[in-house]
Structure 1
Amino acid sequence: MEPTAHPSQPTRIRIGIGGWTYEPWRSHFYPPGLPHSQELHYASRQLTSIEVNGTFYSTFKHATFARWHSETPDGFMFSLKAPRYATHRRVLAEAGDSIRRFVDSGITALGDKLGPIVWQFMPTKAFDATDFEAFLALLPRTVDGRTLRHALDVRHASFATPAFIALARRYGCVPVCSDSDTFPAIADAEAEFAYLRLMRGQAEVPTGYPADALAAWAQGVRSWTGGERPRDVFVYFINGAKERAPAGAMALLAELGIGPGQG
């Protein structure tokens, strides 16, 4: 059956998975016999966003980002993981060249499907206010006239401090809030958008997260996107029984009343 296309519907909610190429998804998520070349086309019509992990490891070209744009429906969004060459270094203040190469690689070919850029740091990287501020000062606010949104995926417990929140806010950046057994859950209630990575999926649960947990996350999403100050929220089911991630994302969309392909 042909997946449902995105209708024209305003929303601040983007929910999805990490990447679209994963062998077990070919028996858990994708229809039997679906060509690998059509996996992005299919996934983007079941979910409303994908966090791209490949950009963390490799440099992609303008043509690739343009192809992703053309293969996905209106309203869909990509979050891009920035390259590890920028974040996995002892002195973050020296990351300027790596940051520029990534930002200038053609990411704006995604157009209005370009979501946040995620800067993921080593779990061993402790909070050093001076060096971290020097890094944040290198992040461009715009590229080719398009405003960039930056999410900071810090993984060391030392970042769980008001000083880090204040520093990120000063540079217009948002902490990634991880639901994880390993990494700290850091959130800024005043941030311009929310970025959640749900990492506690359970293999024995068909949707990764049980129904009561999904209902609780849905209520949090509603609170963030409603009220007097509605803001965007990005939620990704990442790691932790990864084979269950698409089902978890689709279940959360259903809990929020967002049908397949709505964005």
Structure 2
Amino acid sequence: MSGQVRTGTAGWVFEPWRGTFFPEGLVQKKELAYASSRLGSIEINATFRANQKPESFAKWAGEARTGFVFSIKGPQLVTHIKRLKNCEQELANFFASGPLALGPKLGPFIWQLPPNISHNREVLETFLALLPHTADQYVALASKADERLKSAPFLTTDGVGPIRHAIELRNASFDAPEVNALLAEHNVARVIADTAENPSRDLTADFAYCRLQGPARGDAQGYKDADIADWARTTGAWAAAGKDVFAYFVHEDKLHAPANAIALRQALGITLPGD
């Protein structure tokens, strides 16, 4: 069975997209609906700064088209403050805060480590072992939420598919075969960054997660046609091998990220309602 490729961006509220990606005059409350008609997925970044509420997740799910999915960035409290250590309670509160309200539109969780965290096998292995991969495991962990959660725990799993996780390792100490082996053991995808410092396209899970931050040329137009064609060949081959692929354009040239995502989707022959 072939996998599915979804292309998208990090976030959707970006003023310079108004009149460029978003049609002139489109009201802000309709921007997510429009974005979902052109993209396959979007990273929710608000969850990095603080836990959101179930009502927010349900609202986003209601605005996005059928078949669209969101990925969710894990909270900085876990990745940057606790630095993956002794974080079971923080994970419980985060998972209970409402991501399940996305229902079938719940995609992967993305854990982005700061560059100054270096590899410690015990810390990484303990963290990976905490991550839930089934609805039952998710609810078991989320049920441990404590009084710091500012809303009632949301534990309904209706329509939720596989629970997936990707991790972005931004310190060179993680560039070791043993790290990839550990990620594979836990079926956690190593984020593919496409940067000069991190050009690797190693797959460590049954899906691929790309946060495309290159090419490292400083081009005003982001990814060129040749770059898009290259990524179409790569992601197409992964999908043909049965892996779902999530490819987000998150390079510094954010203005052109939607166009890059649409170009890759179209290069793969994927059509959406907005075409």
- What TM-score results when the alignment is normalised by the length of structure 2? 0.85
Give the letter aligned to residue 67 of structure 1.
K
Residue equivalent to 2:51:
59
TM-score (norm 1): 0.89
Percent identity between the two aligned chains: 40
The separation in 2 between residues aligned to 1:210 and 1:178, in whole angstroms, is 17
**Separation in structure 1 between the aligned mates of residue 192 and residue 57 of structure 2, nearest angstrom:** 26
Q: Which residue of 2 aligns with 1:191?
A: 205
The equivalences for 1:17-96 within 5 A come to: 17-89=9-81, 91-96=83-88
Kindly state the Cα deviation for residue 261 of structure 1 after the two structures are TM-superposed.
3.8
Q: Distance in 2 between matches of 1:69 and 1:251?
A: 25
Aligned to 2:31, the other structure's residue is in SS state helix
- Please state how far the C-alpha of 1:28 moved relative to its aligned partner: 1.8
Structure 2: how far apart are the matches of 1:167 and 1:11?
Answer: 23
Q: Which runs of 5+ in 1 are unaligned?
A: 1-9
- C-alpha distance after superposition, 1:97-143 (max 9, x if no partner): 11111111111111111110001101110111111111112212232
For structure 2, the residue ranges without an aligned partner over 5 or more in a row are: 140-156
> Are 2:229 and 1:215 equivalent residues in the alignment?
yes
What SS does the corresponding residue of 2:269 show, helix, strand or coil? Answer: coil
Aligned residue number for residue 220 of structure 2: 204
- Over 3 Å counting, the alpha-carbon distance change for 1:27 and 1:200 in structure 2 is farther
Distance apart, 1:191 and its partner CA: 2.2
My pick for the range that moved more, 88-97 or 39-48, is 88-97
Q: Which residue identity is paired with 1:239?
A: H
Which residue matches 1:248? 260
Any conservation in 1 of the 2:183–2:205 contact (CA below 8 Å)? no
SS state at 2:15 partner? coil
Structure 1 residue runs of 4 or more that deviate by more than 6 Å after TM superposition:
none
Residue identity opposite 1:165 in structure 2: N
The aligned length equals 248
1:238 equivalenced with 2:254 (yes/no): no
Q: Structure 1 residues 11 and 190 mapped into 2: Cα distance closer, same or farther (>3 Å)?
A: closer
Moved more, 193-202 or 125-134: 193-202
Give a deviation string over 1:137-157, Cα, whole Å, max 9, x none.
221223245531010111101
Per the alignment, in what secondary structure is the counterpart of residue 179 of structure 1? coil
- C-alpha RMSD of the superposition: 1.8
